[in-house]
Amino acid sequence: MWPRGYANDGTDENLSTDRKGPSWKSTEAAEAMKFLVVSADDFGWSRDVNEGILESHLSGVVTAAGLLANAPDFTDAVARAFDTPSLDIGIHLNIYRFRPVLRSLRGSRLTSSGGSFREDVRQILRYVLSSPTGRRLALEEFRAQIERVLELGLPISHLDSDKHLHLWPTFFPSVAELAVEYRIRFVRTIREEAVLPLSLPAFLSLLSLPARARLRRLGRATPDHTRGITTPPRTLATLKNILSKLPAGLTELISHPGRIDSRFHQIQKTVRNRLVEERKQELDTLATTQARNLLHDFRIALTSFRDYNTCGIP
């Protein structure tokens, strides 16, 4: 069976299939192929965001979701994940917003007077970089979030984080060790073409260089490329442009689809969040037959982190 979205018409002599999945007659053929994971961040944020992510998976091209273990509608997301085993689940580590899983963090400098995370990247990094206690608390929360998900019996294939905080050198070595400890195969790093040299994608790609080397040493995996930070997939024209230039290897397209209904707006009153209508735009793009057709047009194999592990690729 081919990864979702790849049309095997029997014309490519380098490729063969069986019931266990695709296999390649040469490493060169495998390396020349284009594989895509479309991941949806913020699973658990709200019921309507969860609905949008599931719709983008069942009707479109989303194959993986990053679960927020401390989000308001985490329980709803977990139930949907169990009902939809085809959706690949990862953990979207979060010390930026909502309440921590560990009650012991409430009252710490990572949280505000109300007990939620501060939603201020500079304050969080200043505390963690200057204080061994801050770093220890952050890593304890990361561990607690991983364990909260695993204790429920959900299989986890990948780790990433809100605001990409796990990529900072003060965090990443320990996050990589957590991936080894909990047998989580993939960890997100960023490798994305940046329009400007001082842009966020350029900075994150720079942070990712030592991170990628560490993952290799530890036997963990990471996508060869990422897309979606410089140009999010909010229209079919944008998605077409992204896919038309997709490099060979495994690319993760980072997205934030979701429905925006009353539950979302209720939560929006208590958190800082710039992605509102943009979530609906990405839903309208990714949850479509047209998006699937683009994959066929550009001969891109749609897969997930979980399925890519079993594709026989080195």
Average pLDDT, the chain: 89
Q: Considering the domain boundaries, does residue 136 fall inside one?
A: yes
Q: How many angstroms separate the first and last alpha carbons of the chain?
A: 19
Q: Considering the domain boundaries, does residue 314 fall inside one?
A: no
The domain in which residue 297 lies consists of 15-309
- Pairing mode of beta strands 88-93, 64-67: parallel
**What's the rounded Cα separation, in Å, for the pair 145 and 138?**
11
Would you state the pLDDT for residue 86?
A: 98
Has residue 6 got a pLDDT over 80?
no
CATH number, domain at 67? 3.20.20.370
Q: Give per-residue pLDDT as tens, 143-202.
A: 999 999 999 999 999 999 999 999 999 999 999 999 999 999 999 999 998 767 778 999
Q: Considering the domain boundaries, does residue 5 fall inside one?
A: no
Q: Give per-residue pLDDT as tens, 41-77.
A: 999 999 999 999 999 999 999 999 999 999 999 999 9
Q: Considering the domain boundaries, does residue 80 fall inside one?
A: yes
DSSP for 220-270 reads -B--SEEESSSS---SHHHHHHHHHTPPSEEEEEEE------HHHHHHHTT
Would you state the pLDDT for residue 197?
A: 74
Q: Considering the domain boundaries, does residue 7 fall inside one?
A: no
Q: Considering the domain boundaries, does residue 197 fall inside one?
A: yes
What is the number of structural domains in the chain?
1
Q: Considering the domain boundaries, does residue 9 fall inside one?
A: no
Q: Considering the domain boundaries, does residue 103 fall inside one?
A: yes
**What's the rounded Cα separation, in Å, for the pair 91 and 41?**
9
* pTM of the predicted model as reported, rounded to 2 decimal places: 0.89
